[in-house]
Amino acid sequence: MTASATRDTGSTRQASATAYPWLAKYPPGVDWEQTFTPRPIFALLDDAVARFADKPCTNFLGKVTSYGDIGSLVERAAAGLQKEGVGKGTRVGLFLPNSPTFVVYYFAILKVGGVVVNYNPLYTLEELTFQVKDSGTELMITLDLKLLFDKVEGLLQSGVLARAVVCPFSSLLPSAKSILFRVLKRKQIARVARSPAASRTLSEARLLANDGRYRQPDIDIEGDTAVLQYTGGTTGTPKGAMLTHANVYINVLQAGSFAPELKDAEEKMLGILPFFHVFAMTVVLNFSIAKACEIIIMPKFVLDDALKLINDTRPTVMPGVPTLFNAIMNHPKLESFDLASLKYCLSGGAPLAIEIKQRFEALTGCKLVEGYGLSEASPVVTANPLDGPVKPGSIGVPLPATVVSLRDLADPMREVAAGERGELCVRGPQVMKGYWRRPEETAGQFVDGFLRTGDVAVMDEDGYIYLVDRIKDLIICSGYNVYPRRVEEAIYQHPAVEEVTVIGIRDEHRGEAPKAFIKLRPDMTASKADILSHLESRLSRIEMPSEVEFRDQLPKTMIGKLSKKELKQEEEARAAAHAARGRG
């Protein structure tokens, strides 16, 4: 798959409503056929600094920093990185929680032509080792918190990582909090100078000790990788999606075209989602910078803290995942927090149940709209407009310059008709140029010029798209396809259910059968019989769960979406143990 094929927009400009049904009822005021001029990602920050230098950029635990000051820090960090040898193509890791430090070094790396490699702060040393080796990360940016530095120290001592820049967490806090943190929380601070790997670390103070002048490299906007975004993809093997400057920059503009209601330098964005995740990188970090928002940054999600932060700082926009909105609705003291400042909440990362959307909007008065994306598309592919036609249960319509094609599950070269299930495939300027050092897997991820997402969807006659399920999550029950999302949607309609995950388990008679894992709302009860009785009129017999298990908590990913992986592993281990006992 060539880079030019993945970024083809010329053919999309000659589209017709016949070829692309979403054009007939596209959101008013949004031009699907518009073209976008690619620029380096850091141009978003340069523009904001030039226009709104005095406006607040970050608000971190009460310390507010202006766009002008953030811009100055980025320039000095860029100069320091360049002095340390970071240049075109150098892979630099960000091993950081949400913080102003992330904002500064994200843009500084890009300014000197480096490649940002995002790392999950909760990764184990083994997971970090794999990604450092696979990406060829040469330098890691981290904080002096023991939780982070101890892992970086392990990478340095093993020789897997060459160098690290260590930034002081206390400097990010207001002066009083900074002093208290150093006194009361000193056990949480790593003693970097005494580390066996101290000789391979560089202090942020030393890195920033310059005048902010550096040599601007030539950026190949459409060819140079800006971000290596690791994803499990459809195979489960971590792969680095190579996102170019053009991919990410244009995706920010595409998403922005769906939000003309949001005014430059007037909005406040609540940064709950982790910036290292592609959804937050684009929709929280980059989009906020593009609109010169004040980014209210949470380093770690705690529900009570989040609600208090909304109450106190008055954000207007909050991207999140369905489990976040579900948790807010079910907070026992929700009425004691004022959420009236929120105008729009954006849901992504996982399918949004209709019941969650409707109940959240009724409780908060805030509009909750769903979009869809994946790492390989920078990530946003489709969205519902903030103000305009929204169809319940739909992930919306393709963003401008984006073509969605639904392909036959058995023959991906064949498109399916409206109303039929097919694999959602994407073509557009936001689609990656490929997987890092994996040409064969890159080729297999594309069909007929389109990126294969691994998601099953249906498109209606107006071009609105409805996710059915992940191909890999499909349950083959007595030869019939059973889609876990359909079962989950039906279970969510029970008033006692707070969260539910459905997976396929082995079944002697049907091959596979659905099993539901359910977390009930506080102070509410339900039995397996209650759930099955509730489902009788909503599901076919083949779709009915063979087992229902109630749990106090359900496993979630780092960004808070429900995770099936751990439950599948438990069931596989249980089945293997049962088989072993049978042989005994």
Buried b (16+ CB within 10 A) or exposed e, 122-131: ebeeeebbeb
Number of other residues whose CB lies within 10 A of the CB of residue 333: 8
What type of residue sits at position 158? S
Q: Do domains 3-39+224-470 and 43-207 have the same CATH topology?
A: yes
* 400 class by beta-carbon count within 10 Å (0-12 exposed, 13-18 middle, 19+ buried): buried
Mean pLDDT taken over the chain: 92
Q: How many Cα atoms are found within 13 Å in the side-chain-facing hemisphere of 438?
A: 19
* 540 class by beta-carbon count within 10 Å (0-12 exposed, 13-18 middle, 19+ buried): exposed
> What pLDDT score does 578 carry?
75
Q: What is the pLDDT of residues 490-542, one digit of tens each?
A: 999 999 999 999 999 988 777 889 999 999 999 899 999 999 999 999 998 88
> What pLDDT score does 5 carry?
36
Query: What pTM did the predictor assign?
Result: 0.86
Whether the CA torsion 392, 395, 400, 404 is positive or negative: it is negative
The answer, yes or no, to whether residue 149 has pLDDT greater than 90, is yes
Q: How far apart are CA 146 and CA 323, in angstroms?
A: 29
Strand ranges of the sheet holding 344-347, from the earlier edge strand across to the other edge: 63-66, 56-60, 294-297, 268-271, 317-320, 344-347, 367-373, 380-383, 397-398
Q: How far apart are CA 233 and CA 524, in angstroms?
A: 37
Cα-based torsion angle of the residue sequence 48, 90, 298, 239 in order, rounded to the nearest 10 degrees: 120
Domain regions of the chain by residue span: 3-39+224-470, 43-207, 474-583
Which CATH number, 3.40.50.1580, 3.30.300.30, 3.40.50.150, 3.90.1150.10, labels domain 474-583?
3.30.300.30
Per-residue tokens: 187: 């056990």
Which CATH number, 3.30.1950.10, 3.40.50.980, 3.40.50.720, 3.30.70.1150, labels domain 43-207?
3.40.50.980
What type of residue sits at position 114? G
Mean pLDDT lowest among 37-46, 301-310, 481-490 = 481-490
SS3 220: coil
What's the whole-number mean pLDDT along residues 118-145? 95
Q: How far apart are CA 300 and CA 329, in angstroms?
A: 20
Model confidence at 233, pLDDT cuts 50, 70, 90, reads: very low
Q: How far apart are CA 128 and CA 133, in angstroms?
A: 8
Query: What kind of fold does domain 3-39+224-470 have according to CATH?
Result: Rossmann fold (3.40.50)
> What pLDDT score does 4 carry?
34
